[in-house]
């Protein structure tokens, strides 16, 4: 299992390329603003074929380059609760980002739900719905390899904000408790912002400062 990360755009959003093996199949996870050239280069270095875009949730900074991949024929996946944000992308706080070019919307090819299992070559990701930061936040856990894409649920030293439109602080607490209970502590996490590949067990005490 291969995961490569890069950090892009006005709020330092992490984009990941996840592949089952060199020369295998790959996902583009959370295509942030300005990530596409890096993502294409990473895919070609890995000789991997991109097969889908996985959006951990529908916030603008994580989906802004969906359209680049959709134009290449890739299906885009997101949880149903955040799907409308993909159809009409725009940041909540445009003033923060200056004069942005308009972001073309995409129609998700598949709406993800809790308990879904996504296969990527011989990798199997189990999805956990983790609402709170946004209604459609998902964690994708590859249990055999002990790696998880966690979006903006939990960071190396903190948790996602819950003061955005449609955020729900109470749901966030329940989602965090669920993940700390269900996901093994030694699982390496790949969050939407900040450092990655720390273990969930290392991140938990920092998260608990905000719970």
Instruction: Name which of 50 and 192 has its Cβ closer to Zn ion.
Output: 192
Helices 169-182, 200-208: axis angle to 10 degrees equals 150
Question: Going by C-beta distance under 8 Å and a sequence separation of 6 or more, which residues neighbour residue 56?
Answer: 29, 30, 62, 137, 138, 139, 140, 149, 150, 151, 152, 192
Find the shortest distance in angstroms from Cβ 59 to Zn ion.
3
Instruction: Name which of 82 and 147 has its Cβ closer to Zn ion.
Output: 82
Instruction: Name which of 141 and 153 has its Cβ closer to Zn ion.
Output: 153
Instruction: Name which of 24 and 132 has its Cβ closer to Zn ion.
Output: 132
What character string, x for contact with Zn ion (CB under 5 A) and - otherwise, covers 100-119? --------------------
Q: Could you tell me how many residues of this chain bind Zn ion (CB under 5 A)?
A: 2
Find the shortest distance in angstroms from Cβ 11 to Zn ion.
9
- Read out DSSP for 104-172? PP---SEEE-TT-EEEETTEEEEEEE--SSSTT-EEEEETTTTEEEEETSEETTEE----STT--HHHH
Instruction: Name which of 65 and 152 has its Cβ closer to Zn ion.
Output: 152
Rounded to whole angstroms, the Cα distance separating 174 from 131 reads: 9
Find the shortest distance in angstroms from Cβ 161 to Zn ion.
7
Of 5, 16, 152, 189, which lies in the binding site for Zn ion, with binding defined by CB under 5 A? 152
Find the shortest distance in angstroms from Cβ 133 to Zn ion.
6
**Footprint of Zn ion on residues 24-53 (CB under 5 A)?**
none
* Element containing residue 43 per DSSP (H, E): helix 36-45
Q: Is 193 in the site for Zn ion (CB under 5 A)?
A: no
Distance of CA 210 to the CA centre of its chain: 21
Find the shortest distance in angstroms from Cβ 160 to Zn ion.
6
Instruction: Name which of 59 and 67 has its Cβ closer to Zn ion.
Output: 59
Q: Is 59 in the site for Zn ion (CB under 5 A)?
A: yes
Q: In the complex, which residues of this chain contact Zn ion (CB under 5 A)? A: 59, 152
């Amino acid at each position: 299992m291969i995961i490569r990360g890069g950090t892009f755009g006005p709020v330092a959003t992490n984009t990941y390329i996840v592949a089952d093996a060199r020369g295998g199949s790959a996902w583009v996870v959370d295509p942030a603003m300005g990530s596409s050239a890096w993502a294409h280069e990473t895919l070609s270095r890995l000789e991997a074929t991109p097969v889908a875009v996985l959006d951990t949730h529908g916030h603008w900074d994580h989906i802004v380059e969906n359209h680049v991949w959709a134009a290449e024929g890739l299906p885009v996946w997101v949880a149903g609760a955040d799907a409308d944000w993909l159809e009409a992308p725009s940041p909540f706080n445009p003033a923060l980002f200056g004069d942005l070019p308009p972001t073309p919307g995409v129609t998700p090819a598949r709406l993800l739900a809790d308990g879904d299992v996504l296969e990527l070559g011989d990798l199997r990701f189990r999805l956990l719905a983790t609402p709170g930061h946004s209604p459609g936040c998902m964690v994708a856990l590859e249990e055999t390899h002990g790696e998880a894409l966690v979006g903006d649920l939990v960071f190396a030293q903190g948790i996602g904000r819950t003061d955005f439109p449609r955020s729900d602080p109470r749901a966030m607490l329940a989602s965090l408790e669920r993940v700390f209970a269900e996901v093994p502590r030694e699982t390496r996490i790949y969050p939407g912002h900040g450092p990655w590949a720390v273990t969930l067990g290392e991140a938990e005490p920092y998260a608990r400062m905000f719970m």
